[in-house]
Amino acid sequence: MNADPLLEREGSRRKASETPLLRLEGVHKRYAEFEAVAGVDLQVKTGEVVAIIGPSGSGKSTLLRCINQLEPPTAGRVTVGDVSIDAEREPSRRELMQLRRSVGMVFQSFNLFPHLTVLRNISLAQERVMGRSRKQADEVSRQLLARVGLADKADQYPNRCSGGQQQRIAIARALALGPQLMLFDEPTSALDPELGLEVHAVIRELAANGMTMIVVTHEMHFAESVSERVIVMADGRIVEEGTSAQVMRDPTSERAKRFLRAVADR
């Protein structure tokens, strides 16, 4: 990967600081009859990388989407930095903007804008949200494209790029707004394994540069290697939490054991 013009490189991952960047307190998400997230408490410190694993329908993605209020929680509180949103009361538009400003998100289905070139995809929100000029924004976008190894794709339309390339572009698009926290919602589930690897490489590079991240994934090796902390969710709850090695090799809860056995047998 090309030299990184935006972040100073450090030999090893920055040490996680003590104040939590993200705090979830009693977060619930209920749809009519179904409780997707049934009370989650979680703290993530600056510089930490947390992987969330668990069976389908366990609420992992919903939890992630509760953080940036894409799905407003039905109960509980979400705090990112110094912005706190309580489900008890409707957040103001300003609060939502403030919260989302510090949170970047990458989706399973990339969700690039198909009518814009790759460069415009990355520049658009910089201009509209941060007030950068087109020239400034495009310059930042080009640097980010180089960082994800796609400098030559700037003027293409997304549909001319492979899935792996599209996902790397989507990562660049989220990074362009300078988030403090990055959320990855099964970033490689829609990709064949080989293309998944190039996306994993980009995410690893971010981790190595100290980006705070939460990664929802089905890929155990990736979860284990990218994160220092792994969370297992089932039925809307956290059923196991610990260092990657501990959770993967020596889970304590029955539910987590069952899930990890099932994954290992596959």
Partner 1 sequence: MTLEIVRSIASGIPWTLAVTLAAFAIGAALGAPLCAMRFSSFTLVRGLAGALTLFLRAIPPLVWLFLIFFGLGFGYLQINPFEAAAVGLGLIAAANMAEIYRGALASIHHGQWEAAFALNLSARHRFLDVIAPQLLRVALPSGASYAIGLLKDTAIASTIGVSEIAFQAYHTSQRTFHSLDVYAIAGLLYILISLPMAWATRWADVRLRARVAR
Query: 173 vs 200, which CB is nearer to partner 1?
Result: 173
CB 77 within 8 A of CB 66: no
Q: Among the candidate windows 21-29, 30-38, 45-53, 167-175, which touches partner 1 by CB under 8 A? A: 167-175
Residue type, 252: T
Q: Say whether residue 128 binds partner 1 (CB under 8 A).
A: yes
Q: Say whether residue 129 binds partner 1 (CB under 8 A).
A: yes
Q: Say whether residue 134 binds partner 1 (CB under 8 A).
A: no
Residue 58 Cβ, how far from partner 1 at the closest point, in Å? 20
- The three-state secondary structure class of 55 is coil
CB 236 within 8 A of CB 36: yes
* Nearest CA among 245, 132, 125, 219 for reference residue 174: 125
Query: 93 vs 135, which CB is nearer to partner 1?
Result: 93
Q: Say whether residue 92 binds partner 1 (CB under 8 A).
A: no
List the beta strands (DSSP E) in the chain.
20-31, 34-45, 49-53, 75-80, 83-86, 103-106, 181-185, 212-216, 229-234, 237-243
Q: Say whether residue 181 binds partner 1 (CB under 8 A).
A: no
Q: Say whether residue 112 binds partner 1 (CB under 8 A).
A: yes
Q: Say whether residue 100 binds partner 1 (CB under 8 A).
A: yes
Q: Which neighbouring-strand residues pair with 214?
A: 50, 183
Q: Say whether residue 259 binds partner 1 (CB under 8 A).
A: no
CA–CA distances in Å: residue 100 to residues 25, 70, 138, 166, 182: 18, 9, 22, 22, 11
Which of residues 38, 57, 136, 157 is near partner 1 by CB under 8 A?
A: 157
Which of residues 13, 101, 142, 218 is near partner 1 by CB under 8 A?
A: 101
Alpha helices in 131-162 (DSSP H): 134-147
CA distance 92 to 69: 12
Residue 196 Cβ, how far from partner 1 at the closest point, in Å? 19
Q: Say whether residue 115 binds partner 1 (CB under 8 A).
A: yes
Q: Say whether residue 94 binds partner 1 (CB under 8 A).
A: no
CA distance 197 to 252: 30
Half-sphere exposure of 145 (CA within 13 A, CB side): 21
Q: Which of residues 61-90 bind partner 1 (CB under 8 A)?
A: 68, 70
Per CB under 8 A, residues contacting partner 1 are 68, 70, 97, 100-101, 103-105, 107, 109-115, 124-125, 128-129, 157, 159, 170, 173-174, 177
